[in-house]
């Protein structure tokens, strides 16, 4: 019996060493350890051996079974490793990546996010207001004279009830100050409407980003520092920024802001990018009148306001030549701003 | 407005400044330079000596011109508006006309052309009706740059009407450059004798619109061509010379900003009456249009009726012609509001109305008349009446303004001293009257009607002092998060999820047409709001939903061959019947397969459940789709999107007929959600749930049911079963065979996986079997199902 076990062990170990594939190894396992396998059959003969030999034979049988099982396991593992290596070797790593097809935010949203992120870092909160507005919020409160051309029906969309579509987001300045006392530090992104025929440089509505900072002691120095920081955050740290005196009814003094940019393949030049100024005292007076208090007393508090056109910003930033691309939503266009 | 450098140089010495320096000087004082025009080099005066038809082109002629050299020069030319002997501009080979247009010697239809004869437009002017006919006095060969001054095209902001003329700009430049005006023609201090007119001569019966009117009669004038210096001045700023009288009034306008009008005095019957028009009065104006006037319009009338629309345009019948010998020269102050209203209503904007509606200097009304008179006497001869007849008096438009040095320093945010500030004001002709401490009082010149408040004076300081000299300062502040911040972040979170799922964000126009409104299938109950003055019928309403616009975008992209459409838009939707009229909607559209790739060449097409899955992802919950009672011709299937009992929006399959109309090859699905409602329902902190320590076991149940039995009905039964061990269930297979071969065509096989777990211990198989059997019994009892 012991000799037989010895022989089975020796045969098995040498056979296992010869095995070249997993299927052969499994067949071998069945042929030795299976129900009719060589070792199983030999073990069945245990009942015939003398009682006193049984412990030794049993021990030897177990040792042989364990040894064979272990050898099969080891061999199996090494065969699998070879298969795995082969499989990895066969991968054509030059095949294209699996297409994930992410979509994209609209370029206007992307530029808005960029500006909002910067302005929040500067301590501004968002504010909003209605797009259908009263003439008072859109013009009167913003110190626009009654006969001002912007109020013409040829320039502004009106409704039968006398209200209008706001022509700028500056209405949110008024809405905010009406309800909150100073200090106020807000930005208001949103649509503004002008009665313009749509062409390569005009839309009948576009997106603005309005900002307002009112507090005690806000001066031109804060206006300048804040807007330089904002524009350099968007266009690059070294972008030259200049302030040109201008005129808006709701700020005094008023400025237009230019940045120096290099258009593709052209000499750098100053490009108008935003309007800003110190809030006109008459705007504060109008707000006080509406509030019925003197919270915004022009001799005690001051503030600056600014407005950016997002379409213009996007067109300059990405070299987009036709503003209509921004409302057509051609996926071939949108895809370019991942 | 165009100003000529030479003309400005009449008043201020600019010799020390280059063009770019002047550009900067103007720009930083708030006058935007939109362009600088100068005559290109190699453009000279040429006299046309002969002209013959081109042998091979009907529209061309072959001219020989005298270019000042000995040799005649042959030019092929397309214009017809010249006569032999005319002087015209000639661009010689090598001349650069801008925009990359460089003149070359060449052949036109086989005939050699050694240059180009130019129109005014080709040289930066306005007129492109034909060749620019130059004065006959020009010597051939003279460079045009010698004849015509360089010009600046300026944008004057509406608060500075005093800059709408050469003297005004010169005054500004002198102040900015720190120099003096060369000659300071004081048109406000005229020594000419004024004489109040009698009622018969001039009468004003609308004093709020016209406070001051003057007229001067000049007889024996000869209407003729203007002398070269005058024509050249006008031409240099792109005004076409007409005759000496008209040219003189234009000159005075551009010189000092006072609009004048000349009547043919012989054609006026009786005295001048400045009055409101009668309701049915009309006037044939100098532009050939017969204007219908209303009681809002101010007119100049004689005994027969209106002869001019005051301050806007004269009448044809009383206009100066070549036969005129006696003129009446009008110089007046008309108030801005009335001019603006009439000009707008009548649709006229003239050089005159442009200035009156912004405000002219009332103090120089008589002075302008005097300047024009002296020029007329010089250039057209004749005799002026001794007195200027006046009616009313120039209104004082400026007053004293207080200046608080302390406030000004605070506004600038820097330590500028009064010694630095005051000279700035003084340069602009603003004079200090008194000073007490930091408060001073200043007298404003008559032409600066824009300076009425302290802030206006501070602005003068700032624009001269310059922002360059003001420090950049940043002040930080902790800000309260606002509702708008929360809404913005909520929207951004959803937008980012959608882009990660392959969606493109669109931004469409908010104006739409009533026809398009029918496409807003997810907001059928919204009542669109109409504009009173739309641009056109296609943009006559505010959008009452996003779906219509998304369908437009889909169609546009389908026509570009794009099949996979995953679009969303966030934006305002308007409805008359909604509270507050405006709401923020999230709309999206899906159609077509996932994009094919080499691993998956034929992905399946999007369906209603793609839409539903997307909504589940963005809402973080499972909204129910419930068929609506509403219907729309553009939708074949319309459901409410329910979160509990709250309807947050609608989802639709676009009607196949509508989809075919946009050439869609795949079914199109759209949904719209009210963002505020979604935000309200889904915000709030999520609570962490302890991870289970014991394993879950699942059992499947497959049922054969009638086609009409919905998943919702089965799930509703399952969710109501009170089995303590049942943790969750989910649909995992649905099968239906239309052919009836593998399953009765009226039936479907539907299978769920049920998950069992006890959070305190590991379950025995027998317990699960028992619970599962109870659930099957319950299903069987409540629903007509057969287990497979």
Q: Do B138 and B158 share a domain, yes or no?
A: no
Among the partner residues A102, A222, A302, nearest to B473 by beta-carbon distance? A222
Whether residue B293 is predicted with pLDDT greater than 90 in this model: the reply is yes
Looking at the domain assignment, is residue A72 inside a domain? yes
Whether residue A194 is predicted with pLDDT greater than 70 in this model: the reply is yes
- What mean pLDDT is predicted for residues B531-538? 92
Looking at the domain assignment, is residue A295 inside a domain? yes
What confidence score (pLDDT) does residue B755 get? 95
Return the residue of A nearest to B541 by Cα. A159
Q: Do B375 and B437 share a domain, yes or no?
A: no
Identify the DSSP state of B686. P
CATH code of residue B167: 3.30.56.10
What confidence score (pLDDT) does residue A201 get? 86
What confidence score (pLDDT) does residue A263 get? 65
Q: Do B506 and A122 touch (CB under 8 A)?
A: no
For A:266-325, CB contacts with B below 8 A are: 278, 280-282, 299, 302
Q: Do A131 and B582 touch (CB under 8 A)?
A: yes
Q: Do A129 and A56 share a domain, yes or no?
A: no
Q: Tell me which of A62, A89, A116 is where a domain ends.
A: A89
pLDDT digits (tens, 9 = 90+) for A140-174: 999 998 878 788 888 899 999 999 999 999 999 99
The pLDDT confidence band at residue B334, using thresholds 50, 70 and 90, is very high
Q: Do B368 and B232 share a domain, yes or no?
A: yes
CATH code of residue B280: 3.50.40.10
Q: Do A239 and A166 share a domain, yes or no?
A: yes
Q: Do A159 and B412 touch (CB under 8 A)?
A: no
The pLDDT confidence band at residue B41, using thresholds 50, 70 and 90, is confident
- What mean pLDDT is predicted for residues B159-169? 93
Q: Do A219 and B473 touch (CB under 8 A)?
A: yes
- Distance from the Cα of B118 to chain A's closest Cα (Å) equals 29
Q: Do B115 and B157 share a domain, yes or no?
A: no
Task: Give the E-state strand segments of B293-420 in sequence order.
Answer: 298-302, 305-309, 313-314, 327-334, 383-384, 388-392, 400-404
The pLDDT confidence band at residue B186, using thresholds 50, 70 and 90, is low
Q: Do A130 and B582 touch (CB under 8 A)?
A: yes
What confidence score (pLDDT) does residue B650 get? 95
Whether residue B36 is predicted with pLDDT greater than 90 in this model: the reply is no
Among the partner residues B462, B499, B557, nearest to A220 by beta-carbon distance? B462
CATH code of residue B533: 3.30.930.10
Q: Do A320 and A259 share a domain, yes or no?
A: yes
Looking at the domain assignment, is residue B189 inside a domain? no
Q: Distance between CA B336 and CA B659 in Å, rounded?
A: 56
What confidence score (pLDDT) does residue B138 get? 81
Looking at the domain assignment, is residue B167 inside a domain? yes
Among the partner residues A147, A158, A326, nearest to B507 by beta-carbon distance? A326
Alpha helices in B401-518 (DSSP H): 405-412, 418-427, 454-465, 483-500, 514-517
- What mean pLDDT is predicted for residues B369-398? 91
Whether residue B595 is predicted with pLDDT greater than 80 in this model: the reply is no
Domain that holds residue A66: 2-89
Q: Do A73 and A152 share a domain, yes or no?
A: no
pLDDT digits (tens, 9 = 90+) for A289-313: 999 999 999 999 999 999 999 999 9
Q: Do A221 and B473 touch (CB under 8 A)?
A: yes
CATH code of residue A301: 3.30.930.10
Q: Do B216 and B171 share a domain, yes or no?
A: no
Q: Distance between CA B215 and CA B453 in Å, rounded?
A: 35
Whether residue B576 is predicted with pLDDT greater than 60 in this model: the reply is yes
B39-66 CB burial, b ≥16 within 10 A, e <16: bbebbbbbbbeebeebeeeeebbbbbbb
CATH code of residue B716: 3.30.70.380
Q: Is some CB atom of chain B closer than 8 A to the CB atom of A191?
A: yes
Q: Which residues contact A313 (CB under 8 A, 6 or more apart)?
A: A111, A115, A234, A273
Q: Distance between CA A260 and CA A236 in Å, rounded?
A: 11
Q: Is some CB atom of chain A closer than 8 A to the CB atom of B728?
A: no
Residue of B408, B412, B472 for testing the chain A interface, max A β-carbons within 10 Å: B472
Per-chain mean pLDDT for chain B:
90
The pLDDT confidence band at residue B165, using thresholds 50, 70 and 90, is very high
Q: Tell me which of B624, B655, B682 is where a domain ends.
A: B682
Say if residues B8 and B173 touch (Cβ distance below 8 Å): yes
- Distance from the Cα of A249 to chain B's closest Cα (Å) equals 9
Among the partner residues A188, A252, A331, nearest to B455 by beta-carbon distance? A252
> What are the structure tokens assigned to A50, written together?
């003398």
φ/ψ of B388, rounded to 5, equals -85, 125
Q: Do A224 and B459 touch (CB under 8 A)?
A: no
Looking at the domain assignment, is residue B758 inside a domain? yes
Whether residue A182 is predicted with pLDDT greater than 70 in this model: the reply is yes
Q: Do A325 and A216 share a domain, yes or no?
A: yes
Q: Distance between CA B658 and CA B558 in Å, rounded?
A: 14
Q: Do A115 and A261 share a domain, yes or no?
A: yes
Looking at the domain assignment, is residue B382 inside a domain? yes
Query: Domain tally for chain B?
Result: 6
Q: Do B411 and A278 touch (CB under 8 A)?
A: yes
Return the residue of A nearest to B565 by Cα. A331
pLDDT digits (tens, 9 = 90+) for B701-757: 999 999 999 999 999 999 998 889 999 999 999 999 888 888 888 899 999 999 999
pLDDT digits (tens, 9 = 90+) for A14-68: 888 888 888 888 898 888 888 888 888 888 887 888 888 888 888 888 888 898 8
Q: Which of B96-100, B105-109, B121-125, B347-351 has the highest mean pLDDT?
A: B347-351
Q: Is some CB atom of chain B closer than 8 A to the CB atom of A150?
A: no
What confidence score (pLDDT) does residue B97 get? 82
What confidence score (pLDDT) does residue A264 get? 64
Is the alpha carbon torsion for A150, A156, A160, A166 positive or negative?
A: negative
Say if residues B298 and B349 touch (Cβ distance below 8 Å): no
pLDDT digits (tens, 9 = 90+) for B492-520: 999 999 999 999 999 999 999 887 888 99
Domain that holds residue B7: 2-38+153-177
- What mean pLDDT is predicted for residues B409-430? 92
Q: Please count the residue pairs, one from chain A and one from chain B, whose beta carbons lie less than 8 angstroms apart.
A: 225
Among the ranges given (A37-46, B373-382, B647-656, B778-787), the one the predictor scored with the smallest mean pLDDT: A37-46
Q: Tell me which of B443, B468, B493 is where a domain ends.
A: B468
φ/ψ of B470, rounded to 5, equals -100, 135
Looking at the domain assignment, is residue A102 inside a domain? no
Q: What ipTM was predicted for this assembly? A: 0.86
Residue of B33, B339, B340, B485 for testing the chain A interface, max A β-carbons within 10 Å: B485
């Amino acid at each position: 019996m012991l000799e037989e076990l010895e022989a089975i062990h020796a045969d098995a170990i040498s056979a296992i060493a010869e095995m070249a594939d997993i299927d052969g190894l499994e067949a071998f396992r069945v042929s030795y350890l299976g129900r009719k396998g060589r070792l199983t059959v030999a073990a069945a003969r245990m009942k015939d051996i003398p009682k006193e030999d049984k412990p030794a034979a049993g021990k030897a049988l177990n040792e042989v079974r364990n040894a064979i099982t272990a050898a099969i396991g080891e061999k199996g593992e090494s065969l699998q490793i070879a298969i795995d290596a082969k499989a990895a070797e066969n991968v054509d790593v030059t095949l294209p990546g699996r297409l994930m097809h992410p979509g994209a935010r609209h370029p206007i949203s992307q530029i808005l996010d960029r500006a909002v992120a910067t302005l929040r870092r500067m301590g501004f909160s968002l504010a909003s207001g209605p797009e259908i507005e009263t003439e008072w919020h859109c013009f009167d409160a913003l110190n626009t004279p009654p006969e001002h051309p912007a109020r013409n029906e040829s320039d502004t969309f009106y409704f039968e009830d006398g209200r209008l579509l706001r022509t700028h987001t500056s209405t949110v300045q008024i809405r905010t100050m009406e309800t909150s006392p100073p200090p106020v530090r807000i930005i208001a992104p949103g649509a503004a409407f002008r009665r313009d025929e749509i062409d390569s440089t005009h839309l009948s509505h576009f997106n603005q980003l309005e900002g307002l900072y009112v507090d005690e002691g806000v001066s031109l120095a804060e206006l300048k520092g804040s807007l330089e920081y904002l524009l350099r955050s968007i266009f690059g740290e070294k972008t030259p920024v200049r302030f040109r005196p201008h005129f808006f009814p709701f700020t005094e003094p008023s400025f237009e802001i230019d940045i120096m940019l290099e258009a593709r393949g052209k000499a750098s030049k100053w490009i108008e990018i935003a309007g800003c100024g110190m809030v006109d005292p008459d705007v504060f007076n109008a707000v006080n009148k509406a509030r019925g208090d003197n919270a915004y007393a022009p001799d005690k508090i001051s503030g600056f306001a600014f407005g950016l056109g997002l379409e213009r910003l996007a067109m300059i930033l990405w070299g987009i030549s036709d503003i209509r691309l921004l409302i057509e939503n051609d996926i071939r266009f949108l895809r370019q701003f991942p | 407005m165009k100003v000529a450098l030479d003309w400005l140089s009449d008043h201020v010495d600019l010799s020390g400044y280059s063009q770019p320096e002047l550009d900067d000087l103007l720009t930083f004082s708030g006058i935007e330079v939109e362009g600088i025009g100068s005559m290109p080099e190699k453009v000279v005066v040429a006299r046309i000596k002969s002209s013959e038809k081109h042998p091979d082109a009907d529209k061309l002629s072959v001219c020989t011109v005298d270019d000042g050299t000995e040799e005649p020069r042959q030019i092929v030319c397309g214009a017809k508006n010249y006569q032999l002997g005319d002087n015209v501009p000639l661009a010689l080979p090598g001349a650069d006309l801008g925009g990359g247009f460089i003149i070359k010697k060449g052949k036109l239809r086989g005939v050699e052309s050694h240059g180009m004869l130019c129109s005014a437009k080709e040289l930066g002017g306005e007129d492109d009706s034909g060749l620019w006919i130059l004065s006959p006095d020009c010597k051939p060969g003279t460079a045009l740059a010698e004849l015509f001054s360089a010009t600046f095209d300026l944008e004057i902001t509406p608060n500075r009407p005093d800059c709408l003329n050469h003297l005004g700009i010169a005054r500004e430049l002198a102040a900015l450059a720190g120099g003096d005006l060369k000659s300071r023609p004081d048109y406000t201090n005229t020594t000419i004798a004024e004489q109040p007119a009698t009622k018969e001569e001039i009468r004003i019966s609308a004093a709020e619109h016209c406070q001051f009117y003057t007229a001067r009669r000049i007889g024996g004038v000869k209407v003729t061509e203007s002398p070269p210096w005058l024509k050249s001045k006008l031409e240099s700023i792109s005004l076409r010379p007409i005759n000496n009288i008209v040219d003189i009034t234009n000159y005075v306008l551009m010189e000092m900003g006072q609009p004048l009008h000349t009547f043919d005095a012989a054609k006026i019957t009786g005295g001048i009456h400045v009055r409101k028009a009668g309701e049915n009065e009309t006037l044939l104006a100098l532009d050939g249009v017969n204007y219908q006037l209303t009681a809002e319009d101010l007119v100049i009338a004689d005994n027969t009726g209106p002869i001019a629309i005051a301050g806007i345009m004269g009448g044809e019948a009383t206009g100066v012609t070549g036969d005129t010998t006696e003129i009446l020269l009008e110089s007046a102050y008309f108030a801005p509001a009335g001019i603006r209203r009439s000009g707008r209503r009548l649709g006229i904007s003239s050089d005159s109305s442009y200035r009156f509606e912004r405000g002219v200097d009332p103090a120089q009304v008589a002075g302008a008349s005097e300047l024009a008179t002296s020029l007329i006497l010089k250039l057209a001869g004749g005799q002026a009446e001794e007195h200027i007849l006046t009616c009313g008096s120039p209104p004082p438009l400026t007053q004293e303004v207080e200046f608080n040095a302390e406030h000004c320093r605070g506004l600038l945010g820097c330590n500028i001293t009064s010694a630095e500030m005051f000279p700035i004001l003084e340069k602009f002709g603003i004079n200090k009257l008194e000073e007490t401490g930091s408060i001073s009082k200043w007298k404003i010149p008559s032409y600066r009607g824009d300076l009425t408040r302290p802030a206006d004076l501070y602005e003068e300081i700032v624009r001269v002092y310059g922002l360059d000299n003001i420090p950049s300062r940043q002040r930080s502040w902790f800000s309260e998060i606002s509702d708008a911040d929360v809404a913005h972040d909520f929207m951004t979170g959803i937008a980012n999820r959608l882009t990660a799922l392959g969606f493109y964000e669109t931004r469409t126009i908010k104006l739409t047409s009533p026809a398009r409104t029918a496409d807003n299938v997810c907001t059928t109950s919204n009542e669109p709001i109409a504009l009173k003055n739309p641009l056109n019928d296609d943009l006559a309403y505010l959008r009452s939903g996003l779906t219509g616009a998304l369908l437009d975008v889909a169609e546009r992209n389908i026509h570009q061959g794009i099949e996979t459409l995953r679009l969303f838009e966030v934006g305002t939707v308007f409805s008359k019947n909604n509270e507050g009229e405006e709401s923020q909607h999230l709309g999206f559209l899906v159609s077509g397969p996932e994009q094919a790739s080499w691993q998956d060449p034929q992905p399946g097409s999007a369906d209603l459940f793609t839409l539903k899955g997307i909504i589940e992802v963005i809402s973080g919950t499972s909204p129910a789709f419930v068929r609506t009672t509403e219907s729309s011709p553009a939708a074949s299937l319309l459901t409410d999107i329910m979160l509990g009992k709250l309807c947050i929006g609608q989802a639709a399959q676009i009607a196949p007929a509508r989809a075919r109309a946009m050439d869609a090859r795949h079914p199109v699905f759209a949904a719209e959600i009210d963002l505020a409602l979604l935000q309200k329902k889904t915000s709030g902190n999520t609570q962490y749930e302890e991870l289970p320590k014991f394993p879950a076991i699942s059992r499947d149940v497959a049922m054969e049911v009638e086609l009409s039995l919905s998943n919702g009905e089965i799930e509703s039964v399952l969710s109501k079963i009170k089995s303590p061990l049942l943790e969750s269930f989910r649909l995992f297979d649905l099968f239906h065979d239309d052919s009836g071969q593998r399953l009765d065509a009226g039936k479907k096989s539907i299978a769920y996986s049920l998950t069992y777990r006890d959070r305190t211990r590991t379950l025995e198989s027998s317990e699960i079997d028992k619970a599962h059997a109870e659930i099957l019994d319950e299903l069987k009892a409540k629903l007509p199902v057969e287990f497979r």
